[in-house]
Amino acid sequence: MSGTQIYIPRSKQRHTRPPQAKPDRKRDLRIWWREIDRWLLLFVILLMAVGTLAVAAASPASAGRLSTSDETLPDLYFFWAHLRWQALGLLVLVGTSLVPREMLRQGTIVLAAVMLALLVLVPFIGFEVNGARRWIRFGLGLQPSEFLKPAFAITVAWILSWKLRDPQLPVIGASGALVGLIAMLLMAQPNLGDAVLFVGAWLVLVMLAGLPLQRIGMLMGAGLALLLLAYLTYDNARNRIDAFFGGPTAYDHVDLANRTLTGGGWFGSGFWLGDNKMRLPEAHTDYIFSVIGEELGLLVCAIIVVLYLAIILRVLMRLVDEDRLYIILAASGLVALFGGQAFINILVNLQLFPSKGMTLPLVSYGGSSTIAQCFTIGLLLAVTRRNPYLAREPLDRKFAALKEDEQ
């Protein structure tokens, strides 16, 4: 019968789902290449290339100092190891920059919690190198503070951005408690340099978040008081500060680094022809800038400084038209940590800052350091990704609209 309908039980009905589009990797890569800051990526690759050359120059000095009667390290031992770390670091950099911002923020906050927990464990299960207990061994040595730096910047930026939702939230106090805890854990290692770096980055973020100048002055005064307390209670900090203000003694680390830096003049003594570097401790890490000055010349040192400045300025230029407070704070915190570490290392080599035991980002040899710095750059590329065809609302209009909504 034409009007008869046949009943089919629901359990036997077939439900067809619309076909899902397969992920197009090539399309995603094209979008990524269009949206990332390619100038920033170029500056970073140039800096890593200079770092490769610098580690090759410093490797014989460090290999000779660290060789023992039982084992003689090849001259290029640290160079080949550095190439492997750089290859892994580049994978981390590109992979991080491909991750969507929201997923990246969530993952980085989890990373901050994990690294903070490991930082608590460092004094108990960490192993000691050159008088400081900063590493935990998981097959390879891991320095939790290095990975905590970028995670800290993202986490504090997220906390401070809550003020747009509710200005009454105690975001300054919450972030201040976090940085205070981190500083205390770092001083237990002891690691005064990183403690100063974390506090400095936090001050940059709270200033950008709109903290009144009066409270900023109070915080700076509290920071100076804590630095004085560190001077009075930590022998390592007191010795380094006394050496800085009292002037270097012959052949101490800072004096030898400075004489190594200036020993090659403007154009350097020639690759692998430096003599002072052979007596320089940590030539491949803390004092690699001095090795560059001796063998490649002060002009190459100036180029490195320009590259760091170019990275910082490029990030700030990228933020000029940004209308999201979280993105502004996240990128500013990341670049403050990156640039702050670079210039502290350079100033130490120039005898303009007390010795801190910090590596030169993306230039010095290091496992944790290289991977963590590449992760930092990957985060910078991710948070500053921008569709070049998307018009953005100026930041002042955005804040004006938020104020009108509150009223």
Element (H, E) at 345: helix 325-349
Report which DSSP code applies to 128: E
- Taking 70 as the threshold, does the pLDDT of residue 394 lie above it? no
CA 382 to chain centre: 14
Confidence of residue 110 (pLDDT cuts 50, 70, 90): very high
Q: Which pLDDT belongs to residue 333?
A: 94
Over residues 219-245, the mean pLDDT reads 66
Cα-Cα-Cα-Cα dihedral of 262, 264, 267, 271, to 10°? -130
- Taking 50 as the threshold, does the pLDDT of residue 25 lie above it? yes
Confidence of residue 6 (pLDDT cuts 50, 70, 90): low
Q: Which pLDDT belongs to residue 401?
A: 47
Within 10 angstroms of residue 133's Cβ, the number of other Cβ atoms is 17
Confidence of residue 19 (pLDDT cuts 50, 70, 90): low
Helices (H), 36-130: 38-66, 77-98, 101-125
CA gap 367, 369 in Å, rounded: 5
Q: Which pLDDT belongs to residue 281?
A: 83
- Taking 60 as the threshold, does the pLDDT of residue 34 lie above it? yes
Report which DSSP code applies to 15: P
- How much is the CA Rg of the chain, to the nearest whole Å? 25
- Taking 90 as the threshold, does the pLDDT of residue 83 lie above it? yes
Q: Mean pLDDT: which of 231-235, 251-255, 350-354 is highest?
A: 350-354
Q: Does residue 124 or residue 84 have the better pLDDT?
A: 84
Q: Which pLDDT belongs to residue 174?
A: 87
Q: Which pLDDT belongs to residue 405?
A: 45
Q: Which pLDDT belongs to residue 96?
A: 94
| 3-state percent helix, strand, coil for the chain, nearest multiple of 5 | 70, 5, 30
Q: Which pLDDT belongs to residue 364?
A: 92
Q: Which pLDDT belongs to residue 251?
A: 47
- Tell me the pLDDT tens digit for each residue of 262-312: 888 888 888 888 888 888 888 888 899 999 999 999 999 999 999 999 999
List Cα–Cα distances, 341 to 118, 149, 209, 363, 400, in angstroms. 22, 11, 22, 12, 36
Over residues 26-47, the mean pLDDT reads 89
CA gap 327, 346 in Å, rounded: 28
Over residues 31-50, the mean pLDDT reads 92
pTM for the predicted model, two decimal places: 0.83
Q: Which pLDDT belongs to residue 223?
A: 67
Helix, strand, or coil here: 181?
helix
Confidence of residue 403 (pLDDT cuts 50, 70, 90): very low
Quick one: what percent of the chain has pLDDT higher than 70?
A: 79
Over residues 29-45, the mean pLDDT reads 90
- Taking 60 as the threshold, does the pLDDT of residue 371 lie above it? yes
CA gap 1, 329 in Å, rounded: 72
- Taking 60 as the threshold, does the pLDDT of residue 99 lie above it? yes
Over residues 345-368, the mean pLDDT reads 85
Q: Does residue 15 or residue 230 have the better pLDDT?
A: 230
The rounded mean pLDDT for the chain is: 81
- Tell me the pLDDT tens digit for each residue of 67-82: 777 788 888 999 999 9
Q: Which pLDDT belongs to residue 71?
A: 80
* CB proximity list for 337: less than 8 A, separation 6 or greater: 149, 150, 152, 153, 197, 198, 201, 376
Q: What are phi and psi of 81, to 5 degrees?
A: -65, -40
- Tell me the pLDDT tens digit for each residue of 113-172: 999 999 998 888 877 776 677 778 776 778 888 999 999 999 999 999 887 777 778 888
Q: Which of 304, 349, 314 is CA-nearest to residue 334?
A: 314
Confidence of residue 406 (pLDDT cuts 50, 70, 90): very low
Please, which residues bridge with residue 142 across strands? 136
